[in-house]
Chains A and B, each alone.
Chain A
């Protein structure tokens, strides 16, 4: 079956702009979560959506937001971009988001803010 698809793969934006990243989960999966990786840091949790509802949110400023559609596809938005937002953004898809359930990752979107 098709894996987790993230688009775009690469993105360059200017400080102050906003950006929207997309994640299409594995068919039938209802949970999508987002992670940020900056150089030298582990993957940091942004938020998790299940059936269009945000169930959990990490410690990120309000400039980071997300949503999930009825087909489980998810988008995350970052407004007023800062240089420090340059990172790899990964999304993970899981059938139910339960801690014991395997999660599958996309290849990520590499965002560069200049």
Chain B
């Protein structure tokens, strides 16, 4: 069992604010880290797959970095919009299964 911690658990920000979340995981036996965005009543949506130490990925206003040596990843959202409101999950994959954190719930207030 892999202990994956995400912080904060929840976050309320004003529209236009930038924000970031943290995902911490054991650095041994690491293969890849996946970030998902999960809106209520929908399927989790894949954001990024990150594999290499120092990896940086970007999709629009959302970006992520990865540090495999110390076991953490950051997800950044620049200029949050109400449609960014969702739960953001990180999931290391050490073989053929994901280990999910409990997520960061983001609410963007218009």
Partner-B contacts on A (CB < 8 A): 3-4, 31, 33, 35, 40-45, 48, 50, 55-56, 58-59, 90, 92, 97-108
Contacts and interface: CB of A to CB of B under 8 A. Distances in A.
Pick the 6 closest A-B CB pairs, nearest first. A99-B31, A99-B93, A43-B100, A42-B100, A99-B32, A45-B97
Contact of B97 (A48, A100, A101): A48
Contact of B46 (A35, A103, A108): A103
A55 B44 contact: no
A79 to B, nearest CB: 23
Given A103-B34, A107-B42, A48 B102 contact: no
Contacts of A43: 89, 91, 98, 100
Interface residues of B, number: 26
B96 A102 contact: no
B46 A45 contact: no
